[in-house]
Structure 1
Amino acid sequence: MASNMDTLVTVFGGSGFLGRHVVRALCKRDYRIRVAVRRPELAGHLQPMGKVGQIHAVQANVRYPASIEAAMRDSHVAINLVGILAEGGAQTFDAVQGQGAETVAKAAGAVGARMVHVSAIGADENSPSRYASAKAAGEKAVLSALPSATIMRPSVVFGPEDQFTNRFAALARMSPALPLIGGGVTRLQPVYVGDVATAIADAVDGKTKAGATYELGGPEVLTMREIMEIILATAERHRMLVSLPFELAKLQAMFLQFAPGALKLTPDQVILLRSDNVVSDAAKAAGLTLEGLGITPDSLEAIAPQYLWRFRAAGQFQKKSA
């Protein structure tokens, strides 16, 4: 009987936030892993997740097809995690999430490999958001090049290294008030990064339907206001939540798109917040969800205290209020 060690999985974008959790999940299942990233010298943090020689980092850039073809050589499965939240230079949404996804799919097809492509809930070719329309273009290109590919669409993903809960907790440390764009009524279904990684590993195991699109959401649908309240309660910070109309937020984003770190906000991100980001009824009915894969998702309130404690005034030594 063949073991998973006979299967080589190439993970594009494997050194990022979701990538490190996917690599860990695959290591636990004894797959051989090739991590294809732009800067392999910065992927050393992945090595302790596997056995000696189990993980190998190589250089690849989705904007350069030859590098993708080289990374896919002798591979059995391709996982594409490459994505960006904001554009910069040649790293545009279309180049990375549209054409880049197609490049990976074509390279996988050329060597007869299976593919798992990570997109996002909200991917829509008619969306006014360039991020969302590029995600939809990527899905379409992947399924055109490799009809058997599995598409994974997570809602907003949270976890120890995320740019979501950590960002707002960091803002709460420096600002007396936090903005609620559009009044904070947008509905999201935050999903734990570990659960998304498990679903992707299940797809590599062959537990998903070929050519199907899965929508991955957590156990609760929450408004942005409710999410902010959970973050503030976990970080034990008392801050005002100030409603900010969409148009004013978009105007501010014209300037904040050039800001560093937690202050960064792009006009495209404001557009994204106009739409709810939740698992569709169609996906639930078809069983194309975490629950459909037999995964019980963890909630934001259960996981966030494990890492947001560092934003408390005295960190892990903060005294509990009576």
Structure 2
Amino acid sequence: MSESLMVVFGGTGFLGARIVREALLAGYRVRIVARHPGTLAVSSPRVDYQTANLLEPATVDAALNGADAVVNAVSLYVEKPPALTFESVHVAGAALLARHCQELGIPRLIHLSGLNPDPASRSRYVSARGRGEVAVRDAFPDATILRPGALFGDGQGLLATLAGLTRLPVIPLFGHGDTRLQPVHVDDVARAALNALDDSTTRGRVYELGGADTLSYRGLLEAVMRAQKRRRPLLPVPFGLWFIGAALLSVLESPPLTRDQLILMETDNVVGREAAGFADLGIEPRGIDHGR
């Protein structure tokens, strides 16, 4: 294991950085690959950094040199055209990486996606995630695909966002707040990636990763407020009004709310009833109480 090199694309991100940490604990040498790899420095003689762009084949090949395993943890939630779009990152970039891993004979590829990817979705984000999975599987049939729910942990992610909302005098809900979510601790997903690499039977399989708690959006807000010993009225707001607001905010460089985020909130974001998941990877996921 000490001689194995894991290359983590997106290794400076919220999830990618945790995967790097788990890989180091497991004895891997790690190469962190990102557009700006010095953003989150990890001090270890078993870590090196490399700049690469998923749309530039030469930089991808250089980053893959000597790799025994590759994890694609690159994510994009708000588009910044023309360079950074859901299509370029989650479809074209993911496909290029998978194709080059296959051509170079790299034995393992872990691809991080998300719950409920649908190539036909009217959400550009969800559609790109779905088409990206298809492209990865076409290029690298043995790729293991992980679909985590909304991430939380270490004061970041979904629960931190909801905690910020509770500072408002009145908290607006998406519709009536009935959409069900299954938030997942970021460290559990990172451990799942390592466990998948250690188990050859995960090749070519898909795992849906949700946390121990399944709650409505309203229920999540109420749980966060209870933990903070804070009370705020919850105001149902029709999705139609939210979409109007998102359209107005779309002119901003980094809008706080997008059309794609709203589409995500219209449907439940939970693990499928028959899906393989954490239990198949030997992990008991944590609940939201571990996110505070």
TM class, shorter-length? over 0.9
Q: What is the aligned-residue identity percentage?
A: 38
Match of 1:316 in 2: none
Structure with more of its chain in helix, by fraction? 1
Question: Equivalences for 1:129-278 in 2 at 5 Å?
Answer: 129-160=123-154, 162-173=156-167, 175-206=168-199, 208-257=201-250, 264-278=256-270
Give the deviation of 1:118 after TM superposition: 0.4
Q: What root-mean-square deviation, in Å, do the aligned CA atoms of Structure 1 and Structure 2 show?
A: 1.6
2:146 maps to amino acid: M
Pair 1:165–1:257, CA change in 2 (3 A) = farther
Question: Hey, what's the Cα distance between the residues in 2 that align with 1:243 and 1:126?
Answer: 29
Match of 1:313 in 2: none
Match of 1:122, SS? coil
Give the deviation of 1:161 after TM superposition: 5.0
Give the deviation of 1:258 after TM superposition: 5.3
Match of 2:290 in 1: 303
Equivalent residues, number:
290
Contact 1:27 1:54 in 2 (8 A): yes
Deviations 1:220-244 (A, max 9, x none): 2111001111122223332221111
User: Which one of 71, 85, 98 corresponds to residue 105 of structure 1?
Assistant: 98
Pair 1:39–1:191, CA change in 2 (3 A) = same
Q: TM-score, normalised by structure 1?
A: 0.86
Contact 2:155 2:291 in 1 (8 A): no
Higher relative contact order, structure no. (Cα contacts within 8 Å, ≥ 6 residues apart): 2
Deviations 1:252-299 (A, max 9, x none): 1123345688x701011101111111111121xxxx200121111100
Match of 2:73 in 1: 81
Question: Hey, what's the Cα distance between the residues in 2 that align with 1:5 and 1:251?
Answer: 54
Question: Hey, what's the Cα distance between the residues in 2 that align with 1:88 and 1:152?
Answer: 25
Contact 1:76 1:112 in 2 (8 A): no
Question: Hey, what's the Cα distance between the residues in 2 that align with 1:33 and 1:130?
Answer: 32
Match of 2:115 in 1: 121
Question: Hey, what's the Cα distance between the residues in 1 that align with 2:48 and 2:155?
Answer: 22
Q: Segments of 4+ in structure 1 off by > 3 A?
A: 256-261
Give the deviation of 1:63 after TM superposition: 2.1
Pair 1:257–1:238, CA change in 2 (3 A) = farther
Gap regions ≥5 residues in structure 1: 306-322
Match of 2:15 in 1: 18
Match of 2:156, SS? coil
Contact 1:75 1:111 in 2 (8 A): no
Contact 1:188 1:276 in 2 (8 A): yes
Give the deviation of 1:53 after TM superposition: 1.2
Contact 1:122 1:277 in 2 (8 A): yes
Question: Hey, what's the Cα distance between the residues in 1 that align with 2:161 and 2:213?
Answer: 21
Q: TM-score, normalised by structure 2?
A: 0.95
Question: Hey, what's the Cα distance between the residues in 2 that align with 1:121 and 1:156?
Answer: 8
Contact 1:207 1:293 in 2 (8 A): no
Gap regions ≥5 residues in structure 2: none
Contact 1:208 1:293 in 2 (8 A): no
Give the deviation of 1:210 after TM superposition: 1.1
